[in-house]
Every structure is written in structure tokens, then in C-alpha cells.
């Protein structure tokens, strides 16, 4: 594992919308004071992040970018107690929901960042991650807003830097245009190969997929599209 690569020089990207939509429920608000300090990542702007220092002995390290309400993050953490699950979400109500899942599951392998995932990515060393999960990111469907989408060429290249050999990235969306957009950028990024061999590979949820409340709302213009890539 090497951290010799210079950090990316991308500029500001507002790839998410509201930070808070409603008043936090009393229980969630209390968890911000009691639980969050124990599971929060160190400030990624303060210096490099060492996954082994965050969870000594972790067999794998996963990153979920934009975990929404935290259902998927918590479920995967429960299934893989030996893996460090890093979750990033700027939406404070989502962070509150995730804290509730962490508490109810008594999860010890989750670390949360209530902010921009790209700050965390820049602070992680080369080859730090086994998996990157991007599930139903904001589609920014209007043409003039596509520059705000999370998946850009720079983001894809940074994911390649962070993945271990044979590490995987999963992208899921329920917007056709964003699926095409993401596929184009991931496929033209050196070091990634798309694992699909037939149409069912992107139409059918992987065996370990966890359905979230957002997915159940069916707000997009297509059934979920699952794109899986591997670092080569």
C-alpha cells in the first residue's frame, strides 16, 4: 500500500442537495451528542486517514458514498463484522437515521462522515479499499446540472487509486441517463473493467444487495440499474 500519489486537484463540486430538511427526531438528535463522537471519522481535512488505525485488524475496508438513511450501510456492516464500513453522507437527517441503525444493531465496525465523501477519499491512501458503493446518488437530471453529478472522470480515477487489486465498485441508479453517463465514465477510466456479460447482469440485483426505503419509492424513470466494475 502506498500513499505516494499526489492528491487530486479537482475543484468544488456540489453533488448533493439539501443538508437538512426537517427537525431531527429527539432520539436522533441525542445520538448526535452521544453516539456520533464514538463512530465519527477523524476530520479528513486535518490529515491522512489510516483504516487500520480506525479498526485494527479489519479484514476489508468498504466505502459507501451517500448512504441515505443508512439501511444498506448497517445491513452490510452486520453481515461483515470483520470489515470496516466507512459511510459518508452530507444530509444530516440521513446521518441521524444511520446512527439509529448503528445503535440498534450494536455495530462496532461503522465509521461515519457527516460531509462530502470526496474529502475522505483524498485523505485515504492508495489501495485502501476493497469495495466502493454508490447507490442512488442525486441524478441532477437537467442537462445544465450534470456537472454536479458525483460520477465524473476525476471521481472514477480517484476510485481506481483507492481500490485494491480486484477491488470492486458498485453503482446503482434508477435514472436511465445517469446509468449511461456513469457507464461511459467508468468504462473509459483506465484500471476498471465492467463485469456485465448479459443484460440480466445489470437488470438483476446482486445477491448481496440491500433494498432501501429510497429504492422502494421508485422515484426514477427506470427499474434500478446495477453496474459493477473491478479494478484490474
Domain boundaries, given as residue ranges, for the chain: 26-231
Q: β-pairing, 110-113 with 129-135? A: unpaired
Q: β-pairing, 60-65 with 83-88? A: parallel
What percent of the residues of the chain are helix, what percent strand, and what percent coil, each to the nearest 5?
A: 40, 20, 45
Q: Which of 82, 138, 207, 221 is catalytic?
A: 138
Domain 26-231: which CATH class?
A: alpha beta
CA gap 73, 98 in Å, rounded: 8
Per-residue pLDDT of the chain (232 residues; tens, 9 = 90+): 333 444 444 444 454 444 555 688 888 899 999 999 999 999 999 999 999 999 999 999 999 999 999 999 999 999 999 999 999 999 999 999 999 999 999 999 999 999 999 999 999 999 999 999 999 999 998 989 899 999 999 999 999 999 999 999 999 999 999 999 999 999 999 999 999 999 999 999 999 999 998 899 999 999 999 999 999 9
CA gap 56, 219 in Å, rounded: 40
Those residues whose C-beta lies under 8 Å from the C-beta of residue 204, and which sit 6 or more positions away, are 226
Packing angle, helices 71-79 and 92-105, rounded to 10: 30
Residue 50 bears catalytic tag: no
Where residue 67 falls (left for φ over 0; alpha for ψ -120 to 50; beta otherwise) is: alpha
CA gap 186, 177 in Å, rounded: 14
The residues with which 83 forms a beta bridge, in sequence order, are 60
Q: In the prediction, which pLDDT does 1 show?
A: 33
The number of beta carbons lying within 10 Å of the beta carbon of residue 26 is: 8
Q: In the prediction, which pLDDT does 21 show?
A: 57
Amino acid at each position: 500500500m502506498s500513499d505516494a500519489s499526489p492528491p487530486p486537484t479537482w475543484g468544488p463540486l456540489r453533488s448533493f442537495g439539501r443538508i437538512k430538511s426537517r427537525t431531527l427526531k429527539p432520539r436522533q438528535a441525542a445520538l448526535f451528542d452521544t453516539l456520533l463522537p464514538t463512530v465519527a471519522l477523524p476530520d479528513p481535512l486535518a490529515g491522512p486517514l489510516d483504516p487500520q488505525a480506525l479498526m485494527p485488524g479489519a479484514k476489508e475496508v468498504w466505502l459507501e458514498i451517500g448512504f441515505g438513511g443508512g439501511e444498506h450501510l448497517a445491513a452490510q456492516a452486520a453481515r461483515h463484522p470483520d470489515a470496516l464500513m466507512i459511510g459518508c453522507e452530507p444530509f444530516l437527517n440521513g446521518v441521524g437515521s444511520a446512527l439509529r441503525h448503528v445503535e440498534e444493531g450494536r455495530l462496532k465496525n461503522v465509521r461515519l462522515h457527516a460531509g462530502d465523501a470526496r474529502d475522505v477519499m483524498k485523505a485515504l491512501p492508495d489501495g485502501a479499499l476493497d469495495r466502493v458503493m454508490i447507490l442512488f446518488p442525486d441524478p441532477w437530471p437537467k442537462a445544465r446540472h450534470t456537472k454536479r453529478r458525483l460520477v465524473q472522470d476525476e471521481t472514477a480515477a480517484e476510485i481506481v487509486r483507492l481500490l485494491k487489486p480486484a477491488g470492486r465498485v458498485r453503482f446503482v441508479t434508477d435514472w436511465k441517463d445517469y446509468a449511461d453517463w456513469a457507464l461511459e465514465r467508468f468504462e473509459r477510466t483506465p484500471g476498471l473493467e465492467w463485469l456485465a456479460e448479459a443484460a440480466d447482469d445489470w437488470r438483476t440485483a446482486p445477491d448481496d444487495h440491500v433494498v432501501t426505503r429510497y429504492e422502494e419509492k421508485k422515484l426514477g424513470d427506470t427499474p434500478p440499474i446495477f453496474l459493477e466494475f473491478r479494478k484490474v
